[in-house]
Structure 1
Amino acid sequence: MDELICSLEQLTYNMIQELEASDYSELSAFVEQRQFLVDAITELSHTNALSHQDIERLREVVKADDLIEKKMIFLKQEASDWLNQRQNSKVQRGAYENSFYGESILMDYKK
């Protein structure tokens, strides 16, 4: 149990240190690894009772969730803004690239 909690602490604190430079793929890998550890701790806690010290260590790890969640929300908003900008540029490009060529007439007058 102690090894799992130690791994969870190490994984979480490493992520916090690298949080500013982290991108979506790194956060996604972190969440998958963290979920594996949390599932293992949960499974072991059914057979072995958690000590008061273990509970306090887990509470400290959970305190980091706010920082990680803020970074995830920031990345989500950034991706949403990029998609909106891309959609707007498609609309603007579509307005200029309409099929007016077949309907236009060019007349050249010689004097």
Structure 2
Amino acid sequence: MPTAAVPVPAAPSSAGPAGLGLGLKDRIAAGLERARRRSLTLTDIVDIPDLTRQHSPIMSPLVWDLAHVGNQEELWLLRDVGGREPLHQEIDDLYDAFKHPRRERPMLPLLSPADT
């Protein structure tokens, strides 16, 4: 049975879209910044008690998720890829999803919503 050819996307241009001169690293950084702003916009309207409580056993408190995402981006992108020193190494264990199952996360000493 013949298989359909899967199109391979072209490699992104280092010049960026529409000749804006943005390299891949800059575009990735801009995309992450947009995603973070959107996350904060969506959670800014949520009351602090709702950000810090666990709404379901299959979910973490939203404030844990916000800090976890930021911590993982720092670990993977700034430290591992960028070779930078840790910004807040003291929170690495706190926001490690493998070390803290969801049922434990509401009882952890989480960062405040403003500090995430």
- TM-score above 0.5, yes or no: no
Of structures 1 and 2, the one with the larger relative CO (CA 8 A, separation 6+) is 1
Between Structure 1 and Structure 2, the one with more helix by share is 1
TM score, norm. by length of structure 1: 0.33
TM score, norm. by length of structure 2: 0.32
Query: Rg bigger for which structure?
Result: 1
